[in-house]
Amino acid sequence: MTEHKNKSRAPIQPLNAPTLALSVGGLGFLRPAPGTWGSMPPPALAALLVLFGASQSTIYAALAACLVIPSIACVLWGKYAETRFGRKDAAEVVADETAGVTFACLVAIYFSASSFQMLVQLAGAFFLFRIMDILKPAPARQLEQLPHGWGVLIDDLVAGIYAAIALALAIMGANAILA
């Protein structure tokens, strides 16, 4: 039987650029549930931007950065992560969760009519992503087999797309009922 990826903890040292990027500033070293910690930055950033009155285009740009930068880190340093943490898709690597949840956050912003609705839908985006990330419906689980950082990243992007679809359907269904 293989050891669960969240059971053991890698040392935080060396704390270099790849480690900081892959662990999203160290969030991947937090316990319990490092993937949950790694999923928080995009919805939290979007919520702060909403609360401070940022435009929808500014929020989209911030979320795009939350998708692109961690994705690049996963692909660029995926092989390094395997060596650094001693296994593929180590619990400390949460940049994939940060990227994946962004799809659902984009849907939450797109379908919002008010700031309050955006905040509620961002919370929904976060929870739906965590459910999809844990369940990993096909083909997400199978995509983990891709080499190095691709396998770490792509399954979470697919989980994020599933969460985005589920959120869009829930929002459209609620709007239809309330109309």
pLDDT at site 4: 47
Share of the chain above pLDDT 70, in %: 92
Q: What is the pLDDT of residues 17-63, one digit of tens each?
A: 999 999 999 999 999 999 999 999 999 999 999 999 999 999 999 99
Split at pLDDT 50, 70, 90, the class of 86 is confident
Split at pLDDT 50, 70, 90, the class of 2 is very low
Split at pLDDT 50, 70, 90, the class of 153 is very high
What average pLDDT does the structure give for the chain? 90
Torsion from C-alpha of 87, 91, 96, 99, nearest 10 degrees: -170
pLDDT at site 53: 94
Read off the pTM.
0.88
Q: Average pLDDT of 122-133?
A: 97
Task: Please tell me the number of Cα atoms within 13 Å of 126 on its side-chain side.
Answer: 19
